[in-house]
Amino acid sequence: MTVTERPRVRAHDHPHPPPRRRSIGSVEVLAALLILLVIFRNPFATWIEKYPALQTWTTVFVSVMVQATPFLVFGVTLSAVIAVFVPRSFWAKALPRHPALAVPVASCAGVILPGCECGSVPIAGSLIRRGVTPSAALAFLLAAPAINPIVLTSTAVAFPNNPEMVVGRGVASLIVAMVMGWLWLRLGRPEWIRLPRRPDLDDLSKGRAFWAAVRHDVVHAGGFLVLGAMAAATINILIPAKWMQWVADKPALGVIAMAILAVLLSLCSEADAFVAASLSQFSLTARLAFLVVGPMVDLKLLSMQAGVFGRRFAFRFAPTTLVVATVGAAIVGTVIFT
């Protein structure tokens, strides 16, 4: 399943005229595009200024990207370190051999990764490449952005009067991550996961391999992050606040609405608690659902997962996670808040 196991690229294909020609083309297209943009900069900017909704969209989009870039770069760097410098044998020793036991261990290991969900997608991809059982890597992918110390601290700050929200978030997220890991063990098929081809790292020196992995992952995961950020900015502009008031008055609907809202808004897991706190018209259980679902499933994650693991995987995994996370949060919330 891992890329490094496939046959080496045939040497006689190189040098290769068509790729060469295309390679010049792609830089030329880029240069031409940039020149056009510099020329049309002012008309473009004034055009945007005329539409406040469009301008707000641009601000929100750029903000999501600026906010996510450090976490993306951090995650990509860590995943390149895993890919290049951590030997395969390490994971065999670090995780219990039995996959069913590796799942809870990997979920709890999420505590040590201070970051948000943009970073954990490439890391999980890198773990799978290095031979970690997918169920454990996926449990880690879901747990890490929700239960790390930064996220739990910001949750505590955002809910000063409801410290049980922090406990609820940690517990519910861990449970959901483990359930999803075990579900994958029972129902998942390895062929659903298709990691993108990466340059053949084993051929290269450590330094070149590291930078090749960084470049590759930033361009892939970053490109999908852009798509997700655009979707999130669109939703941010479009959702009318009056609907929310109407939905909030109906308890069961409130939980589902907050889960869906978490998917659509695609907030960073370090910030979502503050937004949840401000949505005070919703019940605490509904807001817990928002906090549990958000770091596990959202538009930008769906886009990044489709890019890193393949579409067949993402379109099965994300909806299942959404259902499991919503139900899990509803149960934990009912236990804690009543």
Partner 1 sequence: MNRQAQGVILLLLGGAILKASFTDMFLRYVKEGLRPFLIAAGTMLVLAAVTTILYDLKYGSALDTECAEEEHGDHGHQHKEPRIGWMLLAPVLGLLLVAPPALGAFAADKSGTVVLQEQAAFPPLPDGDPVQISVLDYATRAIFDKGASMKDAKGTDRKVQISGFLSPGPDGQFVTRMMLSCCAADARPLKVAMAGNRPAGLADDAWVEITGRYSPKTVKDPVNGQDIPYIEVLDWKAIDPPRNQYE
User: Contact at 8 Å (CB) between 257 and 286?
Assistant: yes
The angle that helices 299-309 and 311-337 make with each other, rounded to 10 degrees, is 140
Picking from 143, 142, 125, the residue whose alpha carbon sits closest to that of residue 134 is 125
Q: Which is closer to partner 1, CB of 48 or CB of 252? A: 48
* Shorter beta-carbon distance to partner 1: residue 104 or 115: 115
- Determine the distance from the C-alpha atom of residue 281 to the mean position of all C-alpha atoms in its chain, rounded to a whole number: 28
- Choose which of 32, 52, 190, 246 interacts with partner 1 (CB under 8 A): 52
Reduce the secondary structure of 97-164 to three states and give it as a string: CCHHHHHHHHHHHHHHCCCCHHHHHHHHHHHHHCCCCHHHHHHHHHHHHHHCHHHHHHHHHHCCCCCH
Binding status of residue 44 toward partner 1 by CB under 8 A = yes
Task: Determine the interface stretch with partner 1 among 12-20, 91-99, 137-145, 327-335 (rule: CB under 8 A).
Answer: 12-20
Q: Per rule CB under 8 A, is residue 164 in the interface with partner 1?
A: no
- Residues between 269 and 298 that touch partner 1 (CB under 8 A): 270-275, 277-278, 280-281
Cβ-based nearer residue to partner 1, 57 or 91: 57
Choosing from 1, 32, 62, 323, the residue that interacts with partner 1 (CB under 8 A) is 62
163 binds partner 1 (CB under 8 A): no
Tell me which of 232, 261, 263, 325 binds partner 1, using CB under 8 A.
232
Selected range binding partner 1 among 190-198, 256-264, 286-294, 324-332, rule: CB under 8 A: 190-198
CA gyration radius for the chain? 21
What is the longest distance spanned by two Cα atoms in the chain? 69
Instruction: Choose which of 174, 268, 288, 332 interacts with partner 1 (CB under 8 A).
Output: 268
131: left (phi over 0), alpha (psi -120 to 50) or beta: left
CB nearer to partner 1: give 66 or 323: 66
